[in-house]
Amino acid sequence: MLIGIGSDLCDIRRIQSALDRFGERFITRSFTEAEQRRAMARTEALRAATFAKRWAAKEACAKALGTGFARGVFHSSMGVRNLPSGQPTMELTDGAAVRLAELLPPGTRPQILLTITDEPPYAFAQVMISALPIAA
């Protein structure tokens, strides 16, 4: 059962501008430690695009949750993580996790599908949240 869907297009240049202007303050307020490690492992030329894809994923996820950035859903409560296969997904904590739990019908568990890509100067993300039956 589809619970929510969201997408976002982000200008990589805008993220680069925020990095230039606010630096570490922007990074720590907006991205999880895992996201920061992944971006900082990239070359400087790819760093802004890496952050921009994650920014777009957070925006798309907030839309899929149906709240935007309200009701306890913040950039810091959503993080892109990669499964062992390399497939990206979202990890929700705090208010975002609470909102997700509110959306799930009884007897179901969430599945969050995420796709992210970039074609400079843009980064794109789409999130689909589904409720899957809990196996008995």
Binding site, annotated residues for Mg(2+): 8, 59
Asked if 94 and 32 count as a contact pair (C-beta separation under 8 A), the reply is no
Asked if 95 and 71 count as a contact pair (C-beta separation under 8 A), the reply is yes
Q: Which phi-psi region, left, alpha or beta, contains residue 69 (left: φ > 0; alpha: ψ -120 to 50)?
A: beta
Number of Cβ atoms within 10 Å of the Cβ of 49:
22
> Structure tokens of 77?
């409560």
> Structure tokens of 29?
């307020």
Binding residues: 8, 59
Distance of CA 17 to the CA centre of its chain: 20
